Structure 1
Amino acid sequence: MSLSLYAIQALFILDSSGKRIFSKYYTAPHIDSSEHTNEFQTTEEELAFEKAVFKKTWKTQNDVSVVMKHKVVAVQTLDMVFYVVGSSDENEMLLYECVCSVRDALELLLKGVPDKKTLLENYGLLVLTVDETIDDGIILESDPVLIAGRVTKAPTSDAQALVSDIKEMGFMSSLQKARDKFAERILRGAF
């Protein structure tokens, strides 16, 4: 098993018909392109891979699949599927945590489970959320509250207080508290 910080090779979101909503592919910066051939060099190759992933994972109960020698973790929402791709020997729990972090941060930011229309209307938030979670294939953060706080540029004292409160509560109550805090900030015009 090869251990590396560069765990993520791609993150993409497809709708219920397999069409791309968002995609971002990563190549580790220390890998020389002459030594390592990245199979996703063109948009056509990316789209072909996404189509193969969609065909294998759509309407199945499998969250983890191996497609074209890549480990793929999928999380479905209302009318979309969030995918994270890693190497075949990558830890699937790490990949699952990453994709759930992106989805959960978007739920916090959009105040509910995002659908395709809402996500497209708030595309900037989606891009910032992914960028705050993954950089060059390295997972930077896995806490959805911290990711959402960074995306919205919450003041550090409020973010730290929110994090300490959440550590003392259960998941569902902390999620509700986070939603209440975001609603309060919107009403105050803090965004």
Structure 2
Amino acid sequence: MKEQMAFEKNVFNKTYRTDSEIAFFGGMTIVYKSSIDLFLYVVGSSQENELMLMSVLTCLFESLNHVLRKNVEKRWLMDNMDGAFLVLDEIVDGGVILESDPQQVIQKVNFRVLQSAKEQIKWSLLK
């Protein structure tokens, strides 16, 4: 845990004052984007294709932008963390990229939310 915290702090210190969108640190390829008071990072191995990592980051940002209704900032993200996790679950799983089209991600998230709501209604009616 200490190593992870140190890595995250070093990555942030290296990236928060730059205008570029890519960094190489600790044998990792890092693509990132800032929005208001929030930094989003996608980290891959040094052999990872930067364009693929950037497509994941773009998909994540645009999907969150839709879910959070154009307010990709820390407060809104923290208030809607469940939606953010749903978005992330649709994009990657165990380091494998599943989807990079934000419209597809949004459709899948909406479907999962609808299914969950139906289940909750079903269980409340059965009680």
TM-score range, shorter chain: 0.7 to 0.9
Whether the 8 Å contact between 1:80 and 1:115 is mirrored in structure 2 is yes
- Aligned partners of 1:108 and 1:145 also within 8 Å: no
Match of 2:120 in 1: none
**Counterpart-to-counterpart distance in 2, 1:98 and 1:110:** 18
1:144 correspondence with 2:102: yes
Write out aligned runs for 1:23-102 (5 A). 43-102=1-60
Show structure 1 runs of 5+ residues with no match.
Answer: 1-42, 155-191
Distance 1:104 1:113 in 2: 11
1:39 maps to what in 2? none
Aligned partners of 2:68 and 2:29: how far apart in 1?
A: 29
Q: Which amino acid aligns with 1:93?
A: L
Inter-partner Cα distance in structure 1 for 2:111 and 2:64: 15
Residue-by-residue CA offset, 1:134-179 (whole Å, 9 max, x unaligned)? 001001000111111111217xxxxxxxxxxxxxxxxxxxxxxxxx
Q: Give the counterpart of 2:67 among 99, 104, 109.
A: 109
Please list the CA deviations of residues 13-33 of structure 1 after superposition, one character each: whole Å capped at 9, or x if unmatched. Answer: xxxxxxxxxxxxxxxxxxxxx
User: In 2, distance between residues paired with 1:147 and 1:120?
Assistant: 20
Cα-Cα RMSD: 1.1
- CA shift, 1:113, in A, is 3.4
Q: Would the aligned equivalents of 1:97 and 1:142 in 2 still touch at CA under 8 Å? A: yes
Which structure's relative contact order is higher, taking Cα pairs within 8 Å and 6+ residues apart?
A: 1
| Secondary structure of the corresponding residue to residue 152 of structure 1 | helix
CA distance, structure 2, for counterparts of residue 84 and residue 55 of structure 1:
16
After superposing on structure 2, the runs of 4+ consecutive aligned residues of structure 1 that deviate more than 3 Å are none
Asked whether the 8 Å contact 1:85–1:95 carries over to 2, the reply is: yes
How many residues align structurally?
A: 112
Residue type of the alignment partner of 2:100? S
Gaps of 5+ in 2: 113-127
- Larger fraction in helix: 2
Q: Normalising by structure 2, what TM-score?
A: 0.84
How far, CA to CA, are the matches of 1:47 and 1:103 in structure 2? 23
SS in 2 for 1:153: helix
